[in-house]
Chain A
Amino acid sequence: MAIALNLLVQFAQMALVLALAPLFAGFVRKTKAHLLRRRGPPLIQPYREVLRLLRKDVVLADSASWVFRVAPYLVFATTWVAAALVPTFATGLVFSYAADVIALVALLGSARFMLALAGLDVGTSFGGIGSSREMLIASLAEPAMLMVVFTLSLLAGSTQLSSIAEFMQASDVGLRFSLALALIGLVMVAIAENARIPIDNPATHLELTMVHEAMILEYSGRHLALIEAAAFLKLLLYVSVIACVFFPWGIAVSGQGPVAYMAGAGVYLLKLAAGGLLLAVFETAIAKMRVFRVPDFLGAALMLGFLATLLLFVTMAR
């Protein structure tokens, strides 16, 4: 019975993240537009974009191989599975017994790998630039993310996100400096991974320093729709990870009644709204970085992750 319930929660969660991801992206865009005193597109604009792209025909380059055609499906699938691992409104997800947070990092890494391959596949120079820059960012962002994960796992004694969230929620964690460092490091990684403003500009299509858009320039139709949806999912995933680990209040623990689940969903929506607001304010306030400064930015994130782990050892030596 418990397993059936957990399975139900798991599928509800998968549907929820898929349904909410474009809305979240739309919310961030709308807030940014308001901060610039513009009206901005309606909240449901990202849904419309994806649906329009799904209806359109695919235009394939002559030099495109099967890698180019397969990549969007794999990118979308891996990102969706990764998003299914993050407890959003309830812990005790069935999938989290099969894959922990290190597997989550690996899933995101393979999605990135396939996107970079697809960027190289057609043979345009722009795609190649995008892929090489994406790999430059990834080579620093991934270890930084792993260090943050190690800090959390050492503290919680588990690598499962569900258990980490329950640990953070239940026991008195106390005032942990390492956690603050890990939070800042994770936020920096999230900004870099989602191509948000100091690293990359998500609003433009033609700019010499762009990274993510350069890789997917050759895509069209349903392929592009899947990649866009995967990008929305990834943004939601990072915000959810930060919310469930560092602000776990209100997440329903498995076995509580339906009221707890409803409350968890409501609190989750509030957290998303707060996260989107903060992201929009941050992006409006800051200028884009030169590409050659990006390694410094991510080096700082890596340093924070390392430092969090090291300081944790001092505390645990008691």
Chain B
Amino acid sequence: MDRLALDVAHLFAGGLVLVSFMLLYQDRMSGLVNNFALHALVVSLAVAWQAHIQHAPHLYITAAIALVVKAIVIPLALHRIIVQLGIHRTIETVVGIGQTMLAGIGLVALSIIVMLPITAKAGTLTQQDLAFALSVLLLGLLMMISRRNAVSQVVGFMSIENGLILAATGAKGMPLVVEISVAFSILIALIVIGVFLFRIRERFDTVDIHALHEYRGEQP
């Protein structure tokens, strides 16, 4: 594999980590959803490029699914949801973007330190994909625990799935059936979550999940 091909793969995979950070930084609802669409676009580009250099045509299908479902359908649905919830102009009160970013950097460093020695015997492409995929996954989890708004948590959850796709691309021999079923389960998850968001709003007049804590009898 020549160096340029690897460098472009590195560009897309590293770009995915960067867009994960942009998700952490973004505090406007509609900006967040647009950023998520960009996230999905970058992951589909990364997968398509790796399909090209690995000569694995079935990965093109994965890329197409990621592009259609997650870069177009889900963002449109989320836009509809946030407009209907009336929160499309809200600026979320994020506690300490700076600290979250630093924690994120720590997570990226951790995943690189963990993944590089473990995958030392695998090919460079797999090594780099796995390291970046773990970072994207951990950043998605960080997003889920640092945000109060339920919609941002959904976006964090979806970005975790993008990280999983990247990991699956690097690993050899992931059957296409699994990928298709994962994509569909994500769609179904979106529908279920959408229903839940409206239920939460109906019940508590807000999608701030701290309302749930009080309901459970915890101290705010």
Checking A303, A315, A317, A318 against B101 with a beta-carbon cut-off of 8 angstroms, the contacting residue is A303
A296 with B10, Cβ < 8 A, contacts A181-B18, A310-B112, A313-B112 known: no
Q: Is the CB of A307 within 8 A of B3?
A: no
Q: Is the CB of A175 within 8 A of B97?
A: no
B131 within 8 A of A: yes
Q: Is the CB of B25 within 8 A of A175?
A: no
A303–B18 Cα gap in the complex (Å)? Answer: 9
A296 with B97, Cβ < 8 A, contacts A174-B4, A176-B7 known: yes
Q: Which residue among B15, B18, B112, B128 has the maximum number of chain A CB atoms within 10 Å of its CB?
A: B18
Q: Is the CB of A314 within 8 A of B112?
A: yes
| Closest B residue, CB atoms, query A305 | B105
Inside 8 A of B220's CB, which chain A residues have their CB?
A: none
Interface residues on A, range: 20 to 34
Tell me, rounded to whole Å, the shortest Cβ–Cβ distance linking B191 to chain A.
34
Inside 8 A of A317's CB, which chain B residues have their CB?
A: 116, 124, 127
Contacting residues of chain B (108-165) with chain A, CB-CB under 8 angstroms: 108-109, 112, 116, 124, 127-128, 131-132
A12–B24 Cα gap in the complex (Å)? Answer: 47
Q: Is the CB of A310 within 8 A of B105?
A: yes
Q: Is the CB of A295 within 8 A of B98?
A: yes
A314–B128 Cα gap in the complex (Å)? Answer: 6
Q: Which residue among A174, A303, A315 has the maximum number of chain B CB atoms within 10 Å of its CB?
A: A303
Inside 8 A of B101's CB, which chain A residues have their CB?
A: 299-300, 302-303
Tell me, rounded to whole Å, the shortest Cβ–Cβ distance linking B14 to chain A.
4
B75 within 8 A of A: no
Q: Is the CB of A315 within 8 A of B10?
A: yes
Inside 8 A of B15's CB, which chain A residues have their CB?
A: 177
Tell me, rounded to whole Å, the shortest Cβ–Cβ distance linking A176 to chain B.
7
Q: How many Cβ-Cβ contacts under 8 Å join chain A to chain B?
A: 64
B11 within 8 A of A: yes
A222–B128 Cα gap in the complex (Å)? Answer: 57
A203–B182 Cα gap in the complex (Å)? Answer: 55
Checking A178, A299, A306 against B97 with a beta-carbon cut-off of 8 angstroms, the contacting residue is A299
Inside 8 A of A175's CB, which chain B residues have their CB?
A: 4, 7-8, 11
A177–B25 Cα gap in the complex (Å)? Answer: 20
A217 within 8 A of B: no
A311 within 8 A of B: yes
Tell me, rounded to whole Å, the shortest Cβ–Cβ distance linking A304 to chain B.
8
Tell me, rounded to whole Å, the shortest Cβ–Cβ distance linking A313 to chain B.
6
A187–B193 Cα gap in the complex (Å)? Answer: 40
For A279-318 the 0/1 string (1 means CB < 8 A from B) is 0000000000000000110011011001100110111011
Q: Is the CB of B105 within 8 A of A314?
A: no
B170 within 8 A of A: no
A174–B97 Cα gap in the complex (Å)? Answer: 33
Inside 8 A of A300's CB, which chain B residues have their CB?
A: 25, 101
A295–B17 Cα gap in the complex (Å)? Answer: 21
Inside 8 A of B109's CB, which chain A residues have their CB?
A: 310
Inside 8 A of B116's CB, which chain A residues have their CB?
A: 313-314, 317
Q: Which residue among A176, A296, A302, A311 has the maximum number of chain B CB atoms within 10 Å of its CB?
A: A311
B60 within 8 A of A: no
Inside 8 A of A302's CB, which chain B residues have their CB?
A: 101
Tell me, rounded to whole Å, the shortest Cβ–Cβ distance linking B6 to chain A.
8
**Can you report 21 residue pairs joining A to B where beta carbons are below 8 Å apart?**
A175-B11, A176-B7, A177-B15, A178-B14, A181-B18, A295-B98, A296-B97, A299-B97, A300-B101, A303-B104, A307-B21, A307-B105, A310-B105, A310-B109, A310-B112, A311-B14, A314-B116, A314-B131, A315-B128, A317-B116, A318-B6
| 5 nearest CB pairs, A to B | A175-B7, A177-B14, A299-B98, A306-B105, A177-B11
- Given A178-B14, A303-B21, A314-B128, 15 more contacts at CB 8 Å? A174-B4, A175-B7, A177-B15, A181-B14, A181-B18, A295-B98, A299-B102, A303-B105, A307-B21, A307-B108, A310-B112, A314-B116, A315-B128, A317-B127, A318-B124
